[in-house]
Amino acid sequence: MNESVWNIMSITTSSNNLYNQPPNGFPSPNGSPPSGSPPGGGSPPPGDSGNGNTATVITNLQRNVALYGYILLFLFGFFGHINSIIIFSRRTLRSVSTSCLFICVSISDIIYLLVCIYDFLYTGLALTPIDTATNSNLSNALCRFRSFIKSVAMCSSAWLLLAIVIDRWLRIRFPFQVKKLCSRKRILIGALIILIFAIILNSHLLLPSLGTLSGSDICGPVTTSTYSFFFRQVWGILFTCLQTVLPTIALLIVTIDMFRRLRLRQKQKLNRGNRRRTFVDRQMLIIMLASILLFFTTQIPLSLFNILLSPVLQSRLTQTQALELTSIFNFIASINFGTTFYVHCLTSGLFRKEFYNIKNCNRRHRVGVITRVLGVEATQTQGVYVQKNRNQHGCSVQSLH
C-alpha cells in the first residue's frame, strides 16, 4: 500500500504558506496551488482558502469508513491473526519452513492494525488529537513513530509474501536440496534481512524534518525545502514501486515458473513415503496463492490511484472526491492486513482442519477440568476419552486422573 496518506481516511490540508515553493497539486479555490501534502508523496488536495492555516473537514463518508470499517477489521483481524499464529505453530505445519514466514506476516499485520488504532480514535471516534501548539514535541514524535511503524509493517508484509513464494519455488526447483535451502534458520535470516531493509528504507520518517503540519493532524515535511520536494514528489512513487509494484512483478514471475515446474513434477509417480509431504506442500501452495490473490486485489487499486493522482486525476477530481476516494482505497488496502486468516480457512482444507482441532482440544480440556470436580470415576473416564482421541485430533491434553 502506498504511503500517500499516513492517517488513513483522515486527510487534512495544511497551510498554503508553509513553503516558499509549493509543489504541484490540485488548484485551490482561489487558483493558487496548495503547499500541504498528504504523507507519502503525491499531490495533495486543495486547501479551503489561499491563506492562513486551514484544515479540511472530514466528511461523513470518511468518518463512517474509519469508524465501522476499523471496528470490523479489529474484531476479525486480531482474532484471525492470533489463530493463524497458533495454527502455523502446530506440529503438522511448523515443520514446514513456509510456516515461519506466515507467522512473521501475521505478526507484521498485527503491528499494522495496532498502529491503525490511532486513526480509529481520532478519525472514527472524532477524539481531539494532541495540539501541536501546546505540545509540539509529543505531537511530532507520535507522528514520526506511527508513520515509521506503519510503513515498515506494510513493506515487511509485502516482501515476506514474496519470500513465501520463493520458498515454495525453491522446493519445486531444487527438490533434493530442500533441507539445506529451506531450513527454518535460513528462513528466519531472510525475514530479518527483509525487516532491516524495511527499516532502512523508511528511516527518514524518524528525522526531525517530518512532523505534524500546523493547523492539521497530518504528517508531513516541516523543515527544509529539499526534504519537502523529496517527500512529496519522490517518496510516494518510490514507496509504491518498492512496496507494491516490484513485489507484484516478482510474484508473477516466480509463480508462473513455479507452476510450470509443478506440472512437470506431477507427471512423475509418487511413492507412499512422500505422499504426506506432498499433501502438506500442496496445501501450503494453496494458502500461498490465496495470500497472493488477496494482496493483488487490495493493494493494486490504491497503488494505481496514487500513481495517477498527480498526472491524471488532480484536474478531474474535486477536493472532497479526492479525499473520499483516498479513504475508500486505503480501507480496501487495509483489508489485506485483517482477513488473511479467513481466506486461508476458505481455501485450505488442512488449515480448516487444524483450526477445528484447536477448538476440539480446548473444548475437551474444559470438559476435563469440570469432570475433575465431579469425582474420581468421572475423571478417569474423561482421561481415557482424551487419551483415545489425542492422536486423531493432535491434542496435547494429558490424562486428568
Nearest CA among 10, 70, 66 for reference residue 337: 70
Tell me which of 1 and 167 has the higher pLDDT.
167
- Evaluate whether residue 272 is within a structural domain: yes
Please state, in angstroms and rounded to a whole number, the distance separating the CA atoms of residues 124 and 118.
9
Asked whether residue 365 falls in the same domain as residue 329, the answer is no
Q: Parallel, antiparallel, or unpaired for β 210-212 and 219-221?
A: antiparallel
Tell me which of 178 and 268 has the higher pLDDT.
178
| Range among 85-94, 206-215, 264-273, 290-299 with highest mean pLDDT value | 290-299
- Evaluate whether residue 15 is within a structural domain: no
- Gyration radius (Cα) of the chain, Å: 25
Asked whether residue 292 falls in the same domain as residue 154, the answer is yes
163 pLDDT above the threshold of 60:
yes
105 pLDDT above the threshold of 90:
yes
Distances (CA, A) of 266 to 2, 181, 278: 39, 22, 10
Report yes or no: 132 and 214 within 8 Å, Cβ to Cβ: yes
Check residue 54 and give its pLDDT. 41
| Continuous H helices in 235-318 | 235-240, 246-266, 275-308
Structural domain boundaries enclosing 383:
361-393
252 pLDDT above the threshold of 80:
yes
Asked whether residue 296 falls in the same domain as residue 251, the answer is yes
Please compute the mean of the pLDDT values over residues 85-90 and round it to a whole number.
Answer: 88
Asked whether residue 342 falls in the same domain as residue 374, the answer is no
186 pLDDT above the threshold of 50:
yes
Report yes or no: 182 and 171 within 8 Å, Cβ to Cβ: yes
Asked whether residue 286 falls in the same domain as residue 365, the answer is no
- Evaluate whether residue 158 is within a structural domain: yes
- Evaluate whether residue 319 is within a structural domain: yes
Tell me which of 392 and 192 has the higher pLDDT.
192
Please state, in angstroms and rounded to a whole number, the distance separating the CA atoms of residues 88 and 82.
10
For residue 220, the cross-strand partners are 211
Please state, in angstroms and rounded to a whole number, the distance separating the CA atoms of residues 232 and 219.
12
Please state, in angstroms and rounded to a whole number, the distance separating the CA atoms of residues 158 and 244.
7
pLDDT bracket for residue 288 (50, 70, 90) = confident
| E strands present in 85-242 | 210-212, 219-221
Distance of CA 65 to the CA centre of its chain: 18
Please compute the mean of the pLDDT values over residues 49-65 and round it to a whole number.
Answer: 63
Asked whether residue 243 falls in the same domain as residue 384, the answer is no
191 pLDDT above the threshold of 90:
yes
Check residue 196 and give its pLDDT. 96
Q: Position 27: which residue type?
A: P
- Evaluate whether residue 214 is within a structural domain: yes
DSSP single-letter state for residue 128: P
Tell me which of 151 and 355 has the higher pLDDT.
151
pLDDT bracket for residue 89 (50, 70, 90) = confident
Asked whether residue 89 falls in the same domain as residue 134, the answer is yes
- Evaluate whether residue 148 is within a structural domain: yes
Please compute the mean of the pLDDT values over residues 73-80 and round it to a whole number.
Answer: 92
Q: Supply 300's cell numbers.
A: 493494486
CATH number, domain of 174, equals 1.20.1070.10
- Evaluate whether residue 16 is within a structural domain: no
Please state, rounded to an integer, the average pLDDT across all residues of the chain: 74
Helix (H, G, I), strand (E, B) or coil at 221: strand
Asked whether residue 200 falls in the same domain as residue 283, the answer is yes
- Evaluate whether residue 46 is within a structural domain: no
Asked whether residue 106 falls in the same domain as residue 249, the answer is yes
Asked whether residue 267 falls in the same domain as residue 373, the answer is no
Please compute the mean of the pLDDT values over residues 280-308 and round it to a whole number.
Answer: 84
Query: How many Cβ atoms are within 10 Å of 87's Cβ, its own excluded?
Result: 27
Residue 308 exposure: Cα atoms within 13 Å on the Cβ side: 13
Q: Position 124: which residue type?
A: G
| Range among 64-73, 197-206, 363-372, 373-382 with highest mean pLDDT value | 197-206
334 pLDDT above the threshold of 70:
yes
Counted domains in the chain: 2
Asked whether residue 177 falls in the same domain as residue 310, the answer is yes
311 pLDDT above the threshold of 70:
yes
Which of 15-19, 104-108, 160-164, 218-222 shows the lowest mean pLDDT across its residues? 15-19
Asked whether residue 379 falls in the same domain as residue 249, the answer is no
pLDDT tens digits, residue range 337-354?
A: 988 888 888 887 778 888
Residues contacting 191, CB < 8 A, separation 6+: 100, 101, 104, 160, 163
Angle between helices 275-308 and 319-334 (to 10 degrees): 170
Please compute the mean of the pLDDT values over residues 260-282 and round it to a whole number.
Answer: 65
